[in-house]
Chains A and B, each alone.
Chain A
Amino acid sequence: MSSTSTASSEILGVTDVDKALKRIAHEIVERNSDLSDVVIVGMQTGGTWIASRLHNNIAQISPAISVPLGAVDISMYRDDFSLRPLVLSAPTDIPVDLTGRTVVLVDDVLFTGRTVRAALEALNDHGRPRAVQLAVMVDRGHRELPIRPDYVGKNIPTHFSDEVSVGPDGVTVVTASGESS
């Protein structure tokens, strides 16, 4: 076993991602009987393409109702500036007042929960949602805050030091050598 290499394994392929997004869209429609209250909000930048795909899928399931699509940038709300390089993504774009709405917050990977905490604070500056639901493509565990997802593409047990990469083409876990995932 080499001590310098890393092991990379594909967990989901392109069709798996596609199926997961269709299933989550159905779950969102099923769970929210009044879809006209729902707003889909992707977290910049990893969650925005997923939010956009969910938005399209929901439009196919319920063509009569137009669900607003937004994006939230959480870089001004982080509690760990000093721990990581600060890179601004695209600005926040919330097209409607969130007061009284049900927000489906969308991200690629749920890990410690800190970005979700920051996103909840950011959403509150755009009104007071009636409820916030969380949709993620991957839940990789290691939560540091009391936060749980409502919709999950795939639960993947990981080591803390693993790196999970999520894209339209699939989900890959990169593990440092010498460790098994």
Chain B
Amino acid sequence: MKHLLSTRDLTTDDIVSILAMADHMAEINSRAVPKVPALRGRTVASVFFEDSTRTRLSFETAATRLSAEVMTFTASSSSVNKGESLRDTIETLSAMGVDAFVVRHKSSGAPHQITKWTDAAVINAGDGWHQHPTQALLDAYTITRNFNELNSMQGRTVAIVGDIKHSRVARSDIDVFTRLGAKVVLVAPAAFLPTSLDGWGVTTADSLDDVIGLVDVVYMLRIQRERMDAAQMPSLREYSTLFALTPERAARMQSHALLLHPGPINRGVEMIVDPSLVPGSRILQQVTNGISVRMAVLFSLLGGDATTTLQNGAET
């Protein structure tokens, strides 16, 4: 594996091996000095054409803890504002010596395009509505580890709630969760669902009340207010009535059920309940796990012979 552009680049064995490697990284992150020399001398450039604080900081922290050098590029303060093309930007940074690009872009497919302009590894940190593979890996890591599983979500049901249609997180999560054996139910108004769900291997529900007491994981997506019109919802209140996580609905979650959210949370929109009052909330744990999982991805791509790593698996 040279790049990580989509969860579909990963075999199920690759996914399991990255999750196992993340356990190693979690042990490192639990130390007083959470740093190892594994990627000494490598350079990771985080190249974000779309605002994101948590994903960028998570990747940069992951790279730093593996002793890689970090270059930071944000479009808002760069020569993109002077009209530099994406290709020129990538080629210029490549010429400075970059081993991996971590890319976020509003256009689906931009990271794939970038692989043609550089010899470096490219990691997709979110492209348009398309994919956000490391988010899905950290979500799968959080779920499996909370249920004391190493490589399976067999027998678990995950409700993904919100704007599925415009969500790269949902697309990536559905692929990874179903391949690990979970059942996925999408909870959204029709306008927030893709036109066709053929081949997705999921079911749907049109109200959160129908599923909240039955599922093992409640995965709330961030709702973007500007998309409300497209959903033909007369108001946020209307949406919230059926789909927001209220204190009453949270109270109906099974006692072992987990609450996840990719962040940032829109309080009062999809999250009416204060997540810190939901016992099953693992939203902050997702953030912590994100560093371990991204360390595992960086190490898989840059730490020696990556192909062999993934083929041999993590356990010997």
Contacts and interface: CB of A to CB of B under 8 A. Distances in A.
Interface of A: 45, 73, 75-77, 81-82, 84-93, 121-122, 125-126
B36 A125 contact: yes
A82 B40 CA distance: 13
B37 interface: yes
A76 B312 contact: no
Given A77-B36, A77-B37, A82-B305, A91 B27 contact: yes
Nearest to B300: A86
Given A84-B304, A86-B308, A45 B316 contact: yes
B90 interface: no
A87 B309 CA distance: 6
Interface stretch (B18-26, B143-151, B192-200): B18-26
A85 B300 CA distance: 11
B305 A125 contact: no
Nearest to A74: B36
B316 A73 contact: no
Given A76-B36, A125-B31, A85 B24 contact: no
A84 B305 CA distance: 8
B24 A86 contact: no
A46 to B, nearest CB: 10
Please name the 5 residue pairs, one residue from A and one from B, whose CB atoms are nearest each other, closest first.
A81-B304, A85-B308, A76-B36, A76-B38, A86-B304
A81 B37 contact: no
Nearest to B296: A88
B308 A121 contact: no
A82 B308 CA distance: 11
Interface string B279-311: 000000000000000000001000111101100
B298 to A, nearest CB: 12
Contacts of B27: 91-93
A96 to B, nearest CB: 13
Contacts of B308: 85-87
A145 B36 CA distance: 21
Contacts of B299: 76
Nearest to B311: A85
Given A76-B38, A125-B31, 18 more contacts: A45-B316, A75-B38, A76-B36, A76-B66, A76-B299, A81-B38, A81-B304, A82-B304, A82-B305, A86-B305, A86-B306, A87-B309, A87-B312, A88-B315, A92-B27, A92-B28, A121-B37, A125-B33
A71 B234 CA distance: 60
16 contacts: A76-B24, A76-B36, A81-B304, A85-B305, A87-B309, A87-B316, A88-B20, A88-B21, A88-B314, A89-B316, A91-B24, A91-B27, A92-B27, A122-B36, A125-B33, A125-B35
A92 B28 CA distance: 8
Interface string B238-261: 000000000000000000000000
A122 B27 CA distance: 12
Nearest to B316: A87
Given A76-B24, A77-B36, A121-B37, A85 B316 contact: no
Contacts of B33: 125
B309 A73 contact: no
B303 A91 contact: no
A45 B316 CA distance: 8
